[in-house]
């Protein structure tokens, strides 16, 4: 092959960074044929040089400072795999763009907080920021929406965007164990970090959803407009009741564009068993996009890990080798409008409510009267056994209602003397 190699500098040599280099080494000839030129790693930046990463780095230039590498290394592409919205990751990407180098990144936090700003810099210089690996790991959802659905008006995009939460909820359903026990096992297996907050509190999924919404709807990324709830309050009882009612609980990110505005939300959902996304299990991710001409597009695959993420990174590098230069977020950065935010209080749907109450006469009359006052009607009710004067769980499923009224009702219910703790609520989504 006579074409000059595409020279690459890799910032960050964790599992994904090492995975990118391994993939290029293992499939180099195939990648060169598909990309029209060979890929060559010429520089890396990492703090620990002696660590064994399973790859030969003896012939590459080492940097201790990733931002200096981005500015100085003789390369065409800088791959940023450090992570974080600010600090060295941001400095590295900014330095690469200002030095006239394309950027490939897996950094969802950086894009969620600074994506529009960085897209302006890249476009002013005729450069690419590629980020397939930032959302849903090995699933090529950015390419599918930005390019495959370019002729469609996308009305909704949603999915399972965090493998850690999906693994925990799957394990809780299969084993009947409590959240805390399953989380501890996930940490031992490496599926959850020592500090799992970004995952289990929904922040990681919210970063990804904000990016998906920006690409799908051609708006500025609006992370601060995402309503975020995690899975800490999901109990094994809720998993069991969901099964009895014909649902499974999933942490979903949902972005919907209507004439009234853009609603972005991340929270646990009950989805009917006949819904395909209900059967996406363990660490797998799934993303669904709905377009006016294509209908429903469903993509499923591994959402994290060295192999899937490295696969997405290298796919972006191959696009750059081919000279493909799509807009970062569907439209030129200068044309991206700030979306009109539609608050979650405007959501209309049904709800699962679990109450722990003292079993005594009149309790349910007080609860149902409160719901009635806020125009919330019940579709069904479950109560397990009787224990007069003692604690019993009661499960209510509502008909479709507006979230604002539901919240007012729940606030009043939580103050009833017979209600022993804050109600457990899961929104029901019927896609």
Give me the catalytic one of 101, 108, 143, 208.
208
Identify the CATH homologous superfamily for domain 347-428: ACT domain (3.30.70.260)
Conformational region of residue 294, where left means phi above 0, alpha means psi within -120 to 50, and beta covers everything else: alpha
Q: How far is CA 107 from CA 132, 137, 299, in A?
A: 10, 11, 21
Band of pLDDT at residue 47, cut at 50, 70 and 90: confident
Alpha helices in 190-249 (DSSP H): 197-200, 203-217, 236-245
Name the 3-class secondary structure at 39. Answer: strand
Instruction: Report the topology of domain 141-303+330-344.
Output: Dihydrodipicolinate Reductase; domain 2 (3.30.360)
Task: Tell me the backbone φ, ψ of residue 361, rounded to 5 degrees.
Answer: -60, 140
Residue with tokens 């080798």: 321
Report yes or no: 302 and 220 within 8 Å, Cβ to Cβ. no
Name the 3-class secondary structure at 354. Answer: strand
The residue-averaged pLDDT of 39-47 equals 94
Give the start-to-end residue ranges of the domains of the chain: 6-105, 141-303+330-344, 347-428
Conformational region of residue 229, where left means phi above 0, alpha means psi within -120 to 50, and beta covers everything else: beta
Instruction: Tell me the pTM.
Output: 0.94
Report yes or no: 82 and 11 within 8 Å, Cβ to Cβ. yes
Rounded CA-CA distance 170/275 in Å is 16
Question: Cα 281 to chain center, whole Å?
Answer: 15
State pLDDT tens for residues 353-398. Answer: 999 999 888 899 999 999 999 999 999 999 876 677 788 899 999 9
Report yes or no: 426 and 234 within 8 Å, Cβ to Cβ. yes
Q: Which residues contact 238 (CB under 8 A, 6 or more apart)?
A: 249, 352, 354, 424, 426
Mutual angle of helices 163-175 and 236-245, in 10-degree steps: 80
**SS (HEC) of 361-385:** CCHHHHHHHHHHHCCCCEEEEEECC
Report CA Rg, the chain: 24
**Average per-residue pLDDT for the chain:** 94
More confident residue, 390 or 43: 43
Band of pLDDT at residue 2, cut at 50, 70 and 90: low
413 token code pair: 């219910």
Has 208 been annotated as catalytic?
A: yes
Rounded CA-CA distance 53/173 in Å is 36
Band of pLDDT at residue 344, cut at 50, 70 and 90: very high
- 3-state helix, strand and coil shares in percent for the chain, rounded to the nearest 5: 40, 25, 35
Band of pLDDT at residue 42, cut at 50, 70 and 90: very high
Share of the chain above pLDDT 90, in %: 84
State pLDDT tens for residues 52-96. Answer: 888 888 889 999 999 999 999 999 999 999 999 989 999 999 999
Rounded CA-CA distance 186/72 in Å is 40
Band of pLDDT at residue 350, cut at 50, 70 and 90: very high
Report yes or no: 191 and 185 within 8 Å, Cβ to Cβ. no
Strands 61-63 and 261-272: unpaired
61 token code pair: 């230039």
Q: Which residues contact 215 (CB under 8 A, 6 or more apart)?
A: 142, 145, 146, 329, 330
Residue with tokens 């703790």: 421
The residue-averaged pLDDT of 311-316 equals 96
State pLDDT tens for residues 174-206. Answer: 999 999 999 999 898 888 888 999 999 999 999
Would you tell me how many other CB atoms lie within 10 Å of the CB of residue 295?
9
| Structure confidence at residue 386 (pLDDT) | 67
Indicate if the pLDDT at residue 1 is higher than 60.
no
Instruction: Say which CATH class 6-105 falls into.
Output: alpha beta
Would you tell me how many other CB atoms lie within 10 Å of the CB of residue 59?
8
Report yes or no: 303 and 139 within 8 Å, Cβ to Cβ. yes
Rounded CA-CA distance 110/108 in Å is 5
């Amino acid at each position: 092959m006579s074409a000059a190699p595409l020279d690459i500098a890799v910032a960050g040599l964790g599992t994904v960074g090492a995975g990118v280099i391994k993939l290029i080494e293992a499939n180099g000839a195939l990648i060169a044929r598909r990309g029209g030129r060979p890929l060559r790693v010429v520089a890396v930046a990492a703090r620990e040089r002696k660590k064994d990463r399973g790859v030969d780095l003896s012939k590459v230039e080492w940097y201790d400072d990733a931002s200096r590498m981005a500015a100085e290394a003789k390369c065409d592409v800088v791959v940023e795999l450090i992570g974080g919205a600010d600090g060295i990751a941001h400095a590295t990407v900014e330095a690469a763009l200002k030095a006239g180098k394309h950027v490939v990144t897996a950094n969802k936090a950086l894009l969620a907080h600074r994506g529009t700003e960085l897209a302006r810099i890249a476009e002013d210089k005729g450069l690419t920021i590629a980020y397939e690996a930032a959302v849903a790991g090995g699933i090529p959802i950015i390419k599918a929406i930005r390019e495959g659905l370019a002729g469609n008006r996308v009305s909704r995009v949603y999915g399972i965007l965090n493998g850690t939460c999906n693994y925990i909820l799957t394990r809780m359903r299969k084993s009947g164990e409590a959240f805390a026990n399953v989380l501890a096992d996930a940490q031992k297996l490496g599926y959850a970090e020592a500090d799992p907050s970004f995952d289990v509190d929904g922040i990681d999924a919210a970063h990804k959803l904000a990016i998906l919404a920006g690409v799908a709807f051609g708006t500025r990324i609006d992370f601060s407009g995402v309503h975020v709830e995690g899975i800490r309050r999901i109990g094994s009882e809720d998993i069991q009741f969901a099964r009895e009612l014909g649902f499974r609980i999933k942490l979903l990110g949902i972005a919907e564009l209507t004439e009234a505005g853009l609603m972005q939300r991340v929270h646990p959902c009950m989805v009917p068993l006949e819904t395909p996304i209900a059967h996406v299990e363990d660490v797998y991710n799934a993303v669904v996009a709905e377009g006016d001409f294509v209908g429903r597009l469903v993509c499923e695959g591994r959402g994290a890990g060295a192999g899937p993420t490295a696969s997405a990174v290298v796919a972006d590098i191959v696009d750059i080798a081919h000279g493909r230069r799509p807009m970062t977020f569907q439209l030129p950065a200068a044309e991206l409008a700030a979306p009109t935010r539609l608050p979650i209080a405007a959501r209309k749907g049904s709800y699962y409510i679990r109450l722990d109450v003292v079993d005594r006469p009149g309790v349910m009359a007080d609860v149902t009267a409160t719901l009635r006052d806020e125009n919330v009607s019940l579709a069904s009710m479950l109560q397990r056994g009787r224990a007069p004067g003692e604690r019993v769980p009661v499960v209510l499923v509502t008909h479709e209602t507006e979230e604002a009224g539901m919240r007012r009702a729940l606030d009043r219910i939580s103050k009833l003397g017979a209600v022993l703790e804050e109600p457990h609520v899961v929104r029901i989504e019927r896609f």
